[in-house]
């Protein structure tokens, strides 16, 4: 951040990404900062066909924004945490994780329905192997059909009759004012979310102390710890978006609880593991170490049940 100049926030161009960046901008303006929004098209935005898992690119929705940070074209990036690769980028740092929205998945349909009452063989759209596996585990009769596009694009495809229902992150629907379209929350523990789902990652250059100090005021300790544990599961399993991996972290009283899941793509085999650790949110440094270790512990438990074979089969199948 250059003294006397607005803080430049880099964001994807979708409606949801703009909502998230505008929300962050509003929070920073309330702290007295001048801000400017810079829209950046990512590869994931440009390439809108084919399953995300088949694209084989780390940072599909973040790489171009991170490059703009490193090139000093922007000072702060606003990412959906679930899009952010677990491998850190040299020169960049996580400045804050604001309070998390709902981490659950949601079922959207134009005819009042729950997952249990959808007609046999109903066409359900999702672009997520994680959602596909868990939906088929609960309802093996469903037809799971791929879907790509931003939230509004997916809703339009549903309205045009291409699907009987679609599964989306509840957080995006709530943020865009479409909570009324949610027919049912597919909430944990019944369905586990993607690591980081519903949370924002605010990233800046590691040497930009002024931005780090300002943005850190938006940080929420419980969110940071929960997401750190979830992402540690993903990192230890070397999962990315190419395998059905889920993780659900949450603070219950003074404990960080974590549930992890690995499944085959058709939901026939679902592995789960759970662990917890005592943490003190006020001592965030020590608690972060405990969160990462908890994630590794859950990943090890999943690997002991045979998770590696399911992940490899998902990548090659």
pLDDT at site 234:
96
Kindly indicate the confidence band of residue 55, based on its pLDDT and cuts at 50, 70 and 90.
very low
Which value, to the nearest 10 degrees, does the dihedral of the CA atoms of residues 303, 309, 310, 314 take? 130
Kindly indicate the confidence band of residue 177, based on its pLDDT and cuts at 50, 70 and 90.
very high
Mean of the pLDDT values across residues 23-48?
87
Kindly indicate the confidence band of residue 46, based on its pLDDT and cuts at 50, 70 and 90.
low
SS3 246: strand
pLDDT at site 56:
46
The CATH T-level fold of domain 105-186 is D-Maltodextrin-Binding Protein; domain 2 (3.40.190)
The whole-angstrom separation of Cα 271 and Cα 292 is 20
Are β-strands 165-169 and 105-108 bridged in parallel, bridged antiparallel, or unpaired? antiparallel
Q: Which of 43, 41, 49, 39 is nearest to 19 (CA)?
A: 39
Mean of the pLDDT values across residues 128-151?
96
Tokens of 140: 């093996």
Sequence ranges of the domains in the chain = 1-99+199-218, 105-186, 220-317
pLDDT at site 58:
59
Mean of the pLDDT values across residues 287-308?
97
Catalytic residue among 75, 83, 105, 264: 83
pLDDT over 60 (residue 158): yes
pLDDT at site 293:
97
More confident residue, 95 or 284: 95
Give DSSP secondary structure letters for 177-223: T-GGGEEEEE-TTTSPPPTTTT-EEEEEETT-HHHHHHHGGG--HHH
- pTM for this one? 0.93
1-99+199-218 and 105-186 agree in CATH topology: yes
Mean of the pLDDT values across residues 25-40?
97
pLDDT at site 285:
87
The whole-angstrom separation of Cα 175 and Cα 170 is 9
CATH code of the domain occupying 1-99+199-218? 3.40.190.10
Kindly indicate the confidence band of residue 2, based on its pLDDT and cuts at 50, 70 and 90.
low
Tens digits of residue pLDDT in 104-135? 999 999 999 999 999 999 999 999 999 999 99
Mean residue pLDDT across the chain: 93
Let me know if domain 220-317 sits in CATH 3.30.160.40: yes
| 83 is an active site residue | yes
């Amino acid at each position: 951040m250059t003294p006397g100049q607005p803080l430049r926030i880099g964001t994807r161009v979708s409606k949801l990404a703009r909502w998230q960046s505008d929300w962050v901008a509003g929070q920073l303006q309330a702290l007295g900062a001048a801000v400017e929004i810079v829209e950046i098209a990512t590869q994931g935005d440009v390439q809108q066909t084919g399953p995300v898992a088949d694209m084989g690119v780390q940072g599909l929705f973040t790489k171009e924004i991170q490059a703009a940070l490193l090139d000093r074209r922007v000072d702060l990036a606003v990412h959906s945490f679930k899009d952010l690769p677990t491998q850190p980028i040299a020169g960049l740092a996580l400045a804050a994780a604001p309070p998390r929205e709902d981490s659950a998945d949601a079922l959207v349909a134009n005819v009042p329905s729950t997952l249990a009452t959808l007609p046999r063989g109903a066409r359900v759209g999702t672009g997520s192997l994680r959602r596909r596996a868990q939906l088929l585990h609960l309802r093996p009769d469903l037809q799971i059909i791929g879907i790509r596009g931003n939230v509004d694009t997916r809703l339009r495809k549903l309205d045009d009759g291409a699907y009987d229902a679609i599964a989306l992150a509840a957080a995006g629907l709530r943020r865009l004012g479409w909570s009324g379209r949610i027919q049912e929350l597919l909430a944990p523990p019944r369905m586990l979310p993607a690591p980081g789902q519903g949370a924002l990652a605010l990233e800046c250059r590691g040497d930009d102390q002024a931005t780090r100090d300002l943005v850190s005021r938006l940080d929420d300790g419980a969110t940071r710890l929960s997401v750190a544990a979830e992402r540690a599961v993903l990192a230890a399993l070397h999962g990315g978006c190419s395998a059905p991996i889920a993780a659900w972290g949450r603070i219950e009283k003074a404990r960080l609880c974590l549930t992890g899941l690995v499944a085959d793509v058709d939901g026939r085999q679902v592995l789960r593991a759970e662990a917890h650790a005592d943490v003190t949110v006020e001592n965030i440094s020590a608690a972060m170490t405990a969160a990462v270790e908890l994630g590794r512990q859950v990943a090890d438990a999943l690997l002991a049940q045979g998770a590696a074979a399911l992940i490899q089969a998902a990548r090659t199948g």
